[in-house]
Chain A
Amino acid sequence: MSSSDPETVLSIRNLGIERAPGFFVVIEELDLAASETIVLDAVSGAGKSTALGLIAGALPLVDLPDTRHAIAGVPVTPETPRAAFAGPDKLGFVLQTNTLVPYLSLVENIELPVRVAGQEPDAEWQDHLIRAMGLGDYKARKPGQLSVGQRQRVSVARALLGQPALLLLDEPVSALDPANVAEVEGLIVHLAAEAGSAVVLASHQAQTGEFANTPRADHRLLDHQGQSYSIFSTAGRAAARVA
């Protein structure tokens, strides 16, 4: 698969950030086609969330040679407006702490990215997402009136409503009790497949459950000339097709 492949959803070469003085997080190579899934599995503090931020085009970069970054065929550069590569049909992001807007209802939170993009939500798909997530009885509730697990599901529904080409998941089940983990992971896999989204999951607890057999990106730590590098790469490794 190459970045010119029409099915290519994510194509990255040499994308990096200095997360702390002398500590760099770098994505050396990451290619993902539609409906493929890859897991960024590394110890806490290795920069998994930072790597997702890099993929999302939300972090300031350090200069590296031959940097390339494209989401759904749209080059991601500091000059590119976020709406061009991070609109709801291109990028969905489930944040680790499922940040929701406290003064909007559950439904309004789910619709927000689509509304911000000036689009109307697909009502049928939205209903399906809400029902599948078991949120049908809580549509009018504010985030403060929801449990942690429900807020996490709202975050997933919000990320998927636009049927994004790429879904980024940052420890989506870390705040859940073990009984809910398998269910939520199963829903994510199932709904992402329905949406046709490629998935990048950052997790340190994916050894079991739905993502246990999903391919991992290589991760290595490198110390060079007094600097530390946490490097993620999928070079030579195939991602899993979840559809």
Chain B
Amino acid sequence: MKIPTKLALRELRHDWQSALCFVAALAGVLGPLLIILALKNGIIGTMVGRLIEDPSNREILAIGAGQHDAAFFAALGARQDVGFIVPATRSINTSANAVRNEAQRKLERAVPLIPSAAGDPLVEGEAVAPGRVWVSDKLAQDLAVAAGDTLDMIIGREVDGQRENARRDMTVIGVLPAEIWPRPAIFLSVPDLLAVERFRDDLSATPGNWTDPVAEPESYASYRLYARSLEDIGTLSAYLSEQGLQSRPRAENAALLLSFRRNLNILFTAIAALAMFGFWAAMSANLRGMVERQRVIFSLFSMLTMPDRQRCVIPVVQSLTLVLGGVVATLIIILPFLLAINASFETAPGESIARLYPGDILATLGLGAVTAVTAAVWAVFAVRNVEPQEVLTHA
């Protein structure tokens, strides 16, 4: 195939003005498409992706208190659409009266307590355990603590009008980033949370024994539940509803987000498909016209015993070359343009307004190659129909 490839390229070089026009035409179609794709990936994709990837948006909040037994949690834990489930106490018992860092003489009051366990989607690292907790970034800053420090958790109650406090040292094993949990909070184990509830509700628990291990309760008043993905929130909510339980997704607009992302992809695909079809048709007609202009030469090739398959390679090689040239020209034009866009707008670290991934460029090349080869089919059939006698007729 060396000879037909050489002939194809030489003809393009000879007729470079026509080739350049076609490359420019392709760049005119492809450039805006890639810019739209880059913006979709960048500002829109990042925004939507951030919302979709944030695990908090997958949380389903329990409304009111209930009585959820071990079977309830086992059933939820076995579901494919559940990402994480952990029991919780009544909301009235999910805060510490105060938390103190004795070493720094700092104290915070009414700190929310959030049950956690292994697999918590908000916690990346060692799981909580009795006496070992994660704290939010805000609380860590307020109390000037870091991983490895010790906190003094204070739980209060009133007995016969007398204030009574229980204390417990908690080791901080990690700090949750602010983007995960922006408010003050302690993520602790279920036994620790149960101990808080027991001290407040059960007078037999004293400041001296309130953290002693006790039997697991028959039921829990609440839970912390996360769907495996945004798409799972609907089915999981429906399941809870079937169980007679009221709940609501933390991200009420999750469905809207998903729909937005889906519609955006459909819209872009439709625009790209229309543009590529237009280009394909133009390419196909151009190649067919090229065969017509070179009809005598194709006939000469046949007269000189060039096999059909070699002659047919010529428009295919030219098509591939033109498309490759168009893609390269487009990238040369738009990449500086995208860099300029990104330089003009301030974004969070690692994020950008417009972004093209290597996969996008490879897909463009692949799609371009498919377009080139299929657009050459008409020309290939035309070449096959050029007979050696035509060069005699022409003569």
Asked if B305 contacts A101 (CB within 8 A), the reply is: no
Asked if A112 contacts B304 (CB within 8 A), the reply is: yes
Chain A residue with Cβ nearest B4: A116
Asked if A86 contacts B297 (CB within 8 A), the reply is: no
The residues of A that contact B303 with a CB separation of less than 8 Å are 56, 58, 82, 86, 93
**Does B266 make an interface contact (CB < 8 A)?**
no
Q: A95-B395, A97-B395 are in contact. Are A87 and B7 (CB under 8 A)?
A: no
Q: A58-B388, A99-B296, A101-B297 are in contact. Are A83 and B395 (CB under 8 A)?
A: no
Asked if A104 contacts B10 (CB within 8 A), the reply is: yes
Chain B residue with Cβ nearest A57: B388
The complex places the Cα of A163 from the Cα of B7 at a distance, in Å, of 24
Asked if A101 contacts B392 (CB within 8 A), the reply is: no
Asked if A95 contacts B388 (CB within 8 A), the reply is: no
Minimum distance in angstroms from A204 CB to a CB of chain B: 15
**Does B391 make an interface contact (CB < 8 A)?**
yes
The complex places the Cα of A115 from the Cα of B310 at a distance, in Å, of 13
**Does B90 make an interface contact (CB < 8 A)?**
no
Asked if B304 contacts A99 (CB within 8 A), the reply is: no
**Does A102 make an interface contact (CB < 8 A)?**
yes
The complex places the Cα of A170 from the Cα of B389 at a distance, in Å, of 14
Contact check: which of A81, A87, A95 meets B392 at CB < 8 Å?
A95
The residues of B that contact A97 with a CB separation of less than 8 Å are 394-395
The complex places the Cα of A115 from the Cα of B304 at a distance, in Å, of 10
Contact check: which of B14, B305, B387, B389 meets A83 at CB < 8 Å?
B305
Asked if B389 contacts A96 (CB within 8 A), the reply is: no
Kindly supply a per-residue 1/0 record for chain A positions 102-129, scoring 1 wherever the CB is within 8 Å of any chain B CB and 0 otherwise: 1110000000110111000000000000
Asked if A99 contacts B391 (CB within 8 A), the reply is: yes
Interface size class of A (residues with CB under 8 A): 20 to 34
**Does A73 make an interface contact (CB < 8 A)?**
no
**Does B307 make an interface contact (CB < 8 A)?**
yes
Contact check: which of A60, A103, A113 meets B11 at CB < 8 Å?
A103
Asked if B301 contacts A99 (CB within 8 A), the reply is: no
**Does B340 make an interface contact (CB < 8 A)?**
no
The complex places the Cα of A18 from the Cα of B306 at a distance, in Å, of 26
The complex places the Cα of A56 from the Cα of B15 at a distance, in Å, of 31
**Does A59 make an interface contact (CB < 8 A)?**
yes
**Does B281 make an interface contact (CB < 8 A)?**
no
Interface of chain B residues 345 through 395 with chain A (CB within 8 A):
387-389, 391-392, 394-395
Asked if A103 contacts B395 (CB within 8 A), the reply is: no
Chain A residue with Cβ nearest B300: A99
Q: A87-B305, A117-B305 are in contact. Are A101 and B300 (CB under 8 A)?
A: yes
**Does B302 make an interface contact (CB < 8 A)?**
yes
Contact check: which of B14, B304, B387, B392 meets A113 at CB < 8 Å?
B304
**Does A49 make an interface contact (CB < 8 A)?**
yes
Interface of chain A residues 134 through 189 with chain B (CB within 8 A):
142, 170
Interface of chain B residues 1 through 31 with chain A (CB within 8 A):
3, 7, 10-11, 13-15
The complex places the Cα of A58 from the Cα of B301 at a distance, in Å, of 12
Q: Which of A60, A81, A113, A170 is most buried by chain B, counting CB atoms within 10 A of its CB?
A: A113
Asked if B305 contacts A95 (CB within 8 A), the reply is: no
Asked if A115 contacts B307 (CB within 8 A), the reply is: no
The complex places the Cα of A117 from the Cα of B2 at a distance, in Å, of 12
**Does A53 make an interface contact (CB < 8 A)?**
yes
Asked if B10 contacts A99 (CB within 8 A), the reply is: no
The residues of B that contact A83 with a CB separation of less than 8 Å are 305, 307
Chain B residue with Cβ nearest A112: B304
Asked if A99 contacts B307 (CB within 8 A), the reply is: no
The complex places the Cα of A73 from the Cα of B350 at a distance, in Å, of 75
The complex places the Cα of A117 from the Cα of B300 at a distance, in Å, of 14
Minimum distance in angstroms from B322 CB to a CB of chain A: 16
Asked if A103 contacts B304 (CB within 8 A), the reply is: no
Kindly supply a per-residue 1/0 record for chain A positions 181-210, scoring 1 wherever the CB is within 8 Å of any chain B CB and 0 otherwise: 000000000000000000000000000000
Asked if A102 contacts B14 (CB within 8 A), the reply is: yes
The complex places the Cα of A101 from the Cα of B395 at a distance, in Å, of 14
Interface of chain B residues 280 through 339 with chain A (CB within 8 A):
296-297, 300-307, 310
Contact check: which of A96, A103, A170 meets B10 at CB < 8 Å?
A103
Asked if A115 contacts B3 (CB within 8 A), the reply is: yes
The complex places the Cα of A53 from the Cα of B392 at a distance, in Å, of 7
The complex places the Cα of A227 from the Cα of B145 at a distance, in Å, of 112
Asked if B392 contacts A49 (CB within 8 A), the reply is: yes
Minimum distance in angstroms from A5 CB to a CB of chain B: 25
The residues of A that contact B310 with a CB separation of less than 8 Å are 116
Interface of chain A residues 203 through 242 with chain B (CB within 8 A):
none
Asked if B304 contacts A53 (CB within 8 A), the reply is: no
Asked if A116 contacts B305 (CB within 8 A), the reply is: yes
The complex places the Cα of A42 from the Cα of B246 at a distance, in Å, of 104
Asked if B305 contacts A86 (CB within 8 A), the reply is: yes
The complex places the Cα of A142 from the Cα of B13 at a distance, in Å, of 13
Q: A82-B305, A99-B296 are in contact. Are A49 and B395 (CB under 8 A)?
A: yes
The complex places the Cα of A93 from the Cα of B302 at a distance, in Å, of 13
List 21 interface pairs A-B (beta carbons < 8 Å), by A numbering: A50-B392, A52-B392, A56-B388, A58-B388, A58-B389, A58-B392, A81-B307, A86-B303, A86-B304, A86-B305, A93-B303, A95-B392, A97-B395, A101-B7, A101-B300, A113-B304, A116-B3, A116-B305, A116-B306, A117-B305, A142-B14
Chain A residues within CB distance 8 Å of chain B? 49-50, 52-53, 56, 58-60, 81-83, 86-88, 93, 95-97, 99, 101-104, 112-113, 115-117, 142, 170
Besides A88-B305, A102-B14, 8 other CB < 8 A contacts? A58-B303, A99-B297, A103-B15, A115-B3, A116-B306, A116-B310, A117-B305, A170-B395
Chain B residues within CB distance 8 Å of chain A? 3, 7, 10-11, 13-15, 296-297, 300-307, 310, 387-389, 391-392, 394-395
Closest 9 CB pairs of A and B: A103-B14, A96-B395, A58-B388, A83-B305, A97-B395, A53-B392, A82-B305, A113-B304, A95-B395
